[in-house]
Every structure is written in structure tokens, then in C-alpha cells.
Structure 1
């Protein structure tokens, strides 16, 4: 028999009023860290051909690129470990403290890449040190996106969580754009000789000042309202039940298995599309299609500028129509349009190349525009950071091999449409996940009380809450009526019960 849990009536003072100035600071601090993460991804993706030459000079050009992309992908192996460590710390000590740790580790490891001598100078130690720096970076990133998404979600009013969350991946695109743009600018100013010799190091050096700014912003923030509320409740519970055990990682996986699967599916389809478009495509255009590197990069940059404008609009509309429609539309779009998009990309005509990439970019916006608002809402406050970090990084481990696998598939098969088939296959996972997930828009986070922008909105939320209770009472009354009729029908069929 299902246990009925009695809860006290919700009143206006139970609804958290979010301070607008603190919310803006939280979004800025969280988005900056994410921007730095994707700044490195942008730099690394657009420098793959240079890094292959610097760190793997004895290999053929094809193997150089695959080796450089593999060095990008291998660190994803340690991201789940980073997710477990930082996730557990975040659920125990708070989101703000852990995010301050991850951003400085990420900045230092990225800075160190710029210090590593090339293969010609120190031989095999060059790629080894590159890999070590990327592993440390991957470990810190394991707690970065998940923590930033949780931070923004727990600071956002329920009715604006989609719009506010969309700025996190706005930071991703902006960081990627900054990295890619910087590579183009430096290569143009310095010329190939100087750029190959030392110019490629400059973007990695910039990570340190960015990290220091991010650390300053994050240290200035208070802990999220939802986590503060959770800690107050924990203190009361600990006083009543001091020996209450915490969930282990294994128990976490068992108890929230369905939510973890939903999270994993969403992250896989989002990040495979992300890495395919923004990390692999620059190399695909220059290496496989023999397209001018500068022209290819400029097209990708133009696409990303367009994505910046679309990103917050997707988040805003998701607060009106829900998050699920965008996940389903993006997945169906990839299934139907990936192949036509690659036909355009392979047309050798600038207009069609741009259009093919634009199609993929808009479909990517459908995912990233809602991702930061969906994922934290799947899990309750007490395990939100750890559960999200674990499932997110398991999924990213799968998605992170996308550039390497795509390059290998094209190289082995000779089929330039392999990336399209790859996207279509992954989109099926996205479609199934979108159909199976529950809508999270305009609802309080699990384990947290409702949050509003102001008292007027809080009154509206309270009124809607009471209306919902009344509707549920009407449904229960109707079910009782039907059961009474069934009961009477059964009584009428029994000769001794009358």
C-alpha cells in the first residue's frame, strides 16, 4: 500500500523571492567558467592541424590530425571521476565553493598547455605532457558544467529558468567563438611560420587571466537559495536522526536510475552534435574537403554568431511552451536533415556550405537552449550536483570521442557522409529520450519550494498551486464516484451481500 505523506499547506512566505541583482551575478559567474571551458575547446578544435604538426611531427598529416583529436578525446575518460569527486563535494559543502575550485584548476591546466615544448625539443615527452595537462583539465571540467547548471537553476525563478539557463550555453558559444576568432586573428597577423613556431601558444596563455576573473566573480557570490534551504532542512533532520546514512554512488545510481538515463540520453545527443559541428567540422572542411582553412573558419564563426542570437530565444520560448518540444524537434530534425545538410556542405559552393552548417547549428540550438534548465530539474536538491555530474560526464565520455571517431570513420571508409550517419543514429537516442522525459518547465525544482521573481509572481504561483489542488480533488472525486459505482455493481452480483 502506498504511504500517504502529510504536508503542511503552502503559503506566500514559503515561496522564495529571487534577488534580481544576485541572479545576474550568478549567471555571469557561471557562464564565464563555461565560456573558458569552451574557449579551450574552440582553440583546440581550430588548432588541431597545428598541434598535430607540433606534437606528432613524424606522422602523416591524416594521422597527425587524428592523434591531435584523440588527445582532445582521451581526457573525457577522467571526466566521470571529476564529476563524482566534485559532485559529492558540491552536495556536501555547497555549489559556490566547488565552482571556485574547478575554474582555477581548469585555468592553470589550460595555461600549462601553452608552456609545453614541441616534439622537436623534448621528443616523446611533448605529447605525454600535453596529455597530462588535458587529463587534469578533463578532471576539473568534470565538475564545471554540472555545477554551473545547478548554480543557475537553483538561483532562477521557476517561470524564467529556461531563459536564465540558456545563458550558460550562451557562454559556451561565446567562449568557443572567442577561441576560434583568436586563432584566426593570430594566424592572419603572424603568418604561418611564426604561428606554427610560437603563436599558437598565446590563446592557451589567456586562460589564466580569464580564470582569475572567474574566480573573483565566484568567490563574491552567496550560496544558492535552494542549497541554503536544503542545508537548513538537513540540520533539522540531523538533530532528529543524527546517524542517518548518506547515499553512496551505487545507491544513487540505483535509486535515480531512470533520471540518470534521461540525463545521459539528453547529454549524448546534445554534445555529439556540439562536437561534430564546432570541433570536428573545421578539420573536416580543411582536411577532407580541401577547403580553404581561412574560409572554413570564417563560415563556422559566422554560424556561431548566429547561434548566440538564437540561444536565449530558445530558452525564453521554452518557458512558454515547455522543454520537451525542443528536444523532440531537434532530434527529428537531425534524423531528417543531417544527410541533406552534408550534401550541401560537400557541394563546394560557399552559399550551400553555409546553409548546411546553419541547419546543423539551428538543430544544435534546440538542444543547448534548454539543456541547462532541464538537467538540474531532473534530480532533487540533496543529490542534484553529484547525480547530474555523474550522469553528465558518463554521457560526455561517449560524446567526447565524436571528433576522433568521425575522423577515423571518414578515413577508413572514404565516405564523406559518415558524420551525417553518425548524427542520425545519435538523434534516435535523443528522440526516445525526449518522448520519455517529463516536462520540467514552470515547475519548482525537485526537493525545493517554489521560486518567484517578486511577490506579485509569488501570489500568482500560490493561486495556481491552489487551483491545481482543486483540480486534483475533482479528479479524485470522479475516481471515487467510479469506484463506488463499480462496488455497487459487484454487490448487486452477490446474492448474500445486500
Structure 2
């Protein structure tokens, strides 16, 4: 496939289209590698409960879960650094070999997690090593997405770029689906006690097999034709990171990409998949196997949606699907979760309405990060939080709990035994009408939950499906790898990656299983504002320096006409 370089930062034009077999190889190899890397990253979140017990044991179940999500967030926190490092290498040395390095690093780090002895064996060294491997995973993932997305985008003719790159977007969901499929397979093959003791390590070790497959496929690829043309013309960037912030109009494009695109797409994505997983397993008490099957089926159905939206964006532009997804998220996020909760555990939802719990007492401070609460009231709030029961709080001289007409002064609260204390509380609330049994929904309720999950997936697909093509079109080819990776991984790494931790903390502090959704809602509103201002409507088009003008690169620091690159 011959391509001609063009001056001024334009994407080289295609002299002829890729053959069908070439297209399939480029998309398949890039997508398989992306599925593998996200599988490695998501398997940690899918097995959060067992990882907490192995590496972050605590009598405070809320603290144990928060520590797991903190480890999850650490990996995301290093993604921007990986984006800078591997973006630099990708713009200087090439797309292909850079993402060969990232996929290898990810595979080795993931397998390493499966080999770490538990905290009961090596003490504090266990969580420290886990965090170090999470850092390596974050660095690798910071370079993977940009490399795969750009590689496919630079092989795609402009009129099919959204369609071709949408397979990369769907592959992210594929990584999540694969992580659940492997966990389900292990659960079916390994007895429950054995899976909790050692079987959970097998999905991590499987990454070595997936690494071999991914490397075999990616080694068959040639370098991106756009990069080859730039290198031949001597137009590669000397310092892509610095140029990303000095290239005319690029700072504004990065701001729009960060707040108008990636900040919103990542928060709704993690809400649709990980918040749903935690919500159903945790406060809704749905059977873990049923929950994983629901997320697996929902993810499988959702994957084609990203391709449909990507292809649609080739006709209507990148802005329209993203803005529609943001608006739908603002309107339907809370109703979708309220409906899911009603379907998952109708008894808990009705009890919370008809028999609300009110706590009154002195020193009612609750610290979710404390290994043990200092006061009786703090311990009571902790137990309500772990039990998934919402509550209201007020000051009073003596500690009391009211559930509808039932009043309880827990003077004989068994302070020394956490499990006995929690059982005593749940026995009282059961008498008041609350249901703490594991939920195994019938077919009708399962279909209702699946419907809510698909609604969330549609919101995610609309905001995520066109994004690889959009980001590739927003930035000049010579600094494209760095420029698109930086905002993507800041948004995904910090706004999205810290979502499970921050949302869990909000829920723990308020006792409201739905309160953490406000974090997502705020980012969707912020994203909508920046998308409306910074992205232009109309059919997609390649980046070209001729679009820059004095008005677009003035004091505002941006190029309003090229920020969206679809106007």
C-alpha cells in the first residue's frame, strides 16, 4: 500500500486501499492484543474480593475493599506516565515495536501477581509487590491503547476510520468479558473452597499463554505506513512530549480531548461495568456467580454496539454520538441503577423505603480507612455500610437505632467479635423486614437487570465507540501517539481509574448505595460542556495544519475549528 507524505502535518493520503486480508490482519492483531492487555488489567478488578482477602486482609471489610480499589487506582495512576514514555517511543521509533514492548510488559506483570505469596505468608511484602506489579501494568497500558488505536487509524481510509478503529474500542469490553469468562470457567472447574484458596491465581497465570498468542500475531504486522512516510521524509518529532504542548493549537485540543471526551467516556464505562459488578455483588447481595454471568452476557451483547456506533460516526461525525451519550447518561444514569436495584433485591429496596433506618448517638464519626472504629456509633455505621443498609444520622446523648417502629438501644452490642456484632444487627433488622439472604433472581428479574446493564452499555458505546478515530484525527501525525495518549490516559487513569475507590468511599460515608453515582454524573456534565464547546459538528476529516489561523491560536490557547476535527 503506497502512501505519499504531505507537508504541514497532514495525514498522508491513501493511494490505494488495503486488501481485505490486510485489513483483517491489522484489525485482528491490534484487537487481540488490546483484549489481552485489558484482560490483564481487569482480572484484578473482577477478582477484587479474593485479592483483598489474600493481600489486604482486614477485619474491616469496607477497608479491605477500599485497599483493593486503591491498588486498582495505583495502576491507573501510572497510565499517564506510560503514555508519556511509550508515546515518546511510538512517535520516535515507530508504532509497531512500541506496542510489542507494552504487551510483553503487561503479560509478565500480570503473571507475576498470580505468583505472589499471600500476606499471611510474607506479611507486608505481599501488598507492596502487588502494588509494584500494578505500577508496571499501568505503565504498559499507558502505551498500549494509543499504539493500537493509531496503528489501525493510520491503516484506515478516512471514510472507514471510525468503523475500523471501533474494533479497538470493542476490544476493551472484550478484555472485561474475557476476564469474567476465565473466572467463570475456573469456578466451574475448581471447587469453591479451592478456588478461594489458590484457584483465583490461575487467571493471572493464563496471561502468559495470551501473551504468546498476542506476540505471534503482532510480529506479523508491518510498521504504520504514516510513520514510514514521516520517517522517510525526516519529519518525525525530536521530542514528541514537548511538541505536544508547543505545537500551535495543541494545548486546547488536549484540554478538549481530556475533559470533553476521555473524562466522560471512562467514568461511564467503569460505572457501566465495574460499578455494576460491585453494586450487584455488594449491597444488592446477588449471588456472585449469577452476577458474573450477567456481566458476561451483558458485555458480549454490548461489544457489537461499539462497532455500530463507530461506523455510524463515519457518516454523521464524531461529535453527535458522543454528545447524545453524554446527555443520555445525565438523564438515565440514576434511573438505570434504581431499576437495577429494584430487580436485584426488591426486598431491600422496599424495606429502605417503608422501614428507613435512623442512627442517633454521640461521637458518630466513621472512618472507612480505619482498621477498627473508635466508638460504638462508628462500629454501628460500619456494620450498616457492610450490610448495604442506608441510614440517616443525628446527634443524641445515647446510641440508638430505629427501623420504622422498632427502636433498639444496642447496649449489649458484642464489641469484641465483628461477625457476632454484625449478625446481631442483621437479626434485628431482619425482624424489621430487611432481607440479608443471598439473592438468586428469577428469570424476569434477571432480564430486568440485563436490560439495565444494556442501557448503561449503550451510553458507554455512544461516548466511546468513535473516540479512537476522533483522537487520531485531532492531532498532527508527527506527535499523534503522544498527544492522544496524554489526555486519554489522564482521563482514563485518574478520572476513570479512581472511580471505584472514590465511589466506594462516598457510599461508605453516606450509607447510600447510589451516592457514588454522583461522581460519574459530574464528569458527564463537565464532558458535555466541553464537547459542545470544543467539538465541531459535521463529517470527519483528517488533521491538517492549514486549518490553523490567528483566531484559533490566540490568547485562548486553542484552535476551536480543529479541536473536534469533524467540522
Give the TM-score taking structure 2 as reference length.
0.72
Which of 411, 417, 422 is the matching residue for 2:519? 422
2:476 matched residue in structure 1: 380
Once the two structures are TM-superposed, the CA of residue 250 in structure 1 deviates from its matched residue by: 4.3
2:131 matched residue in structure 1: 131
Structure 1 residue 249 corresponds to structure 2 residue 241: yes
SS, match of residue 96 in structure 1: helix
Which of 384, 389, 395 is the matching residue for 2:485? 389
Distance 2:535 2:254 in 1: 11
Distance 2:545 2:152 in 1: 16
Distance 2:46 2:177 in 1: 11
Contact 1:146 1:389 in 2 (8 A): yes
Distance 1:74 1:14 in 2: 41
Distance 1:259 1:438 in 2: 12
2:386 matched residue in structure 1: none
2:15 matched residue in structure 1: 16
Contact 1:286 1:293 in 2 (8 A): yes
Distance 2:18 2:46 in 1: 40
1:368 matched residue in structure 2: 464
1:89-128 deviations in whole A, cap 9, x for unaligned? Answer: 1111110110111111111111111111111111111111
The structure-2 alpha-carbon separation of the partners of 1:274 and 1:14, relative to structure 1 and needing over 3 Å to count, comes to closer
Once the two structures are TM-superposed, the CA of residue 22 in structure 1 deviates from its matched residue by: 2.5
Distance 2:174 2:63 in 1: 30
The structure-2 alpha-carbon separation of the partners of 1:381 and 1:248, relative to structure 1 and needing over 3 Å to count, comes to closer
Once the two structures are TM-superposed, the CA of residue 37 in structure 1 deviates from its matched residue by: 2.1
The structure-2 alpha-carbon separation of the partners of 1:87 and 1:400, relative to structure 1 and needing over 3 Å to count, comes to same
Distance 1:14 1:63 in 2: 55
Once the two structures are TM-superposed, the CA of residue 377 in structure 1 deviates from its matched residue by: 0.9
Contact 1:282 1:293 in 2 (8 A): no
Distance 2:281 2:288 in 1: 5
Distance 1:397 1:311 in 2: 21
SS, match of residue 53 in structure 1: helix
Once the two structures are TM-superposed, the CA of residue 383 in structure 1 deviates from its matched residue by: 0.3
Contact 1:40 1:176 in 2 (8 A): no
Structure 1 residue 405 corresponds to structure 2 residue 502: yes
Once the two structures are TM-superposed, the CA of residue 251 in structure 1 deviates from its matched residue by: 4.7
SS, match of residue 17 in structure 1: coil
Show the 5 A alignment for 1:26-41.
Answer: 26-41=26-41
Show the 5 A alignment for 1:206-225.
Answer: 206-225=206-225
Distance 2:527 2:41 in 1: 23
Matched positions, count: 430
Contact 1:84 1:390 in 2 (8 A): yes
Distance 1:313 1:251 in 2: 35
Contact 1:54 1:196 in 2 (8 A): no
2:256 matched residue in structure 1: 262
Contact 1:116 1:129 in 2 (8 A): yes
Distance 1:322 1:442 in 2: 5
Show the 5 A alignment for 1:57-68.
Answer: 57-68=57-68
Contact 1:159 1:319 in 2 (8 A): yes
Show the 5 A alignment for 1:270-285.
Answer: 270-285=265-280
Once the two structures are TM-superposed, the CA of residue 133 in structure 1 deviates from its matched residue by: 0.7
SS, match of residue 418 in structure 1: coil
The structure-2 alpha-carbon separation of the partners of 1:355 and 1:413, relative to structure 1 and needing over 3 Å to count, comes to same
SS, match of residue 87 in structure 1: helix
Distance 2:240 2:43 in 1: 38
The structure-2 alpha-carbon separation of the partners of 1:221 and 1:445, relative to structure 1 and needing over 3 Å to count, comes to farther
Contact 1:52 1:64 in 2 (8 A): yes
1:99 matched residue in structure 2: 99
Once the two structures are TM-superposed, the CA of residue 16 in structure 1 deviates from its matched residue by: 2.8
Contact 1:35 1:175 in 2 (8 A): yes
Contact 1:45 1:279 in 2 (8 A): yes
Which of 530, 533, 539 is the matching residue for 1:433? 530
Give the TM-score taking structure 1 as reference length.
0.82
Which of 329, 332, 343 is the matching residue for 1:337? 332
Which of 542, 559, 564 is the matching residue for 1:444? 542
Show the 5 A alignment for 1:416-495.
Answer: 416-435=513-532, 436-439=534-537, 441-446=539-544
Contact 1:45 1:278 in 2 (8 A): no
Once the two structures are TM-superposed, the CA of residue 192 in structure 1 deviates from its matched residue by: 2.1
Contact 2:266 2:492 in 1 (8 A): yes
Contact 1:159 1:441 in 2 (8 A): no
Distance 1:16 1:138 in 2: 38
1:411-443 deviations in whole A, cap 9, x for unaligned? Answer: 111112223322221111221232121358542
Structure 1 residue 350 corresponds to structure 2 residue 446: yes
Distance 2:304 2:154 in 1: 24
Distance 1:68 1:14 in 2: 47
Distance 1:93 1:346 in 2: 50
Which of 303, 306, 323 is the matching residue for 1:328? 323
Once the two structures are TM-superposed, the CA of residue 254 in structure 1 deviates from its matched residue by: 4.1
Once the two structures are TM-superposed, the CA of residue 60 in structure 1 deviates from its matched residue by: 2.0
* Aligned alpha-carbon RMSD (Å): 2.1
2:184 matched residue in structure 1: 184
Structure 2 unaligned blocks of 5 or more:
1-5, 346-444, 547-567
Contact 1:344 1:355 in 2 (8 A): no
1:279-311 deviations in whole A, cap 9, x for unaligned? Answer: 232122111222211222221112111112222
Contact 1:318 1:370 in 2 (8 A): yes
Once the two structures are TM-superposed, the CA of residue 26 in structure 1 deviates from its matched residue by: 1.5
Distance 2:485 2:166 in 1: 18
Contact 2:150 2:481 in 1 (8 A): yes
Q: Relative to structure 2, which stretch is displaced further, 84-93 or 394-403?
A: 394-403
Distance 1:225 1:440 in 2: 27
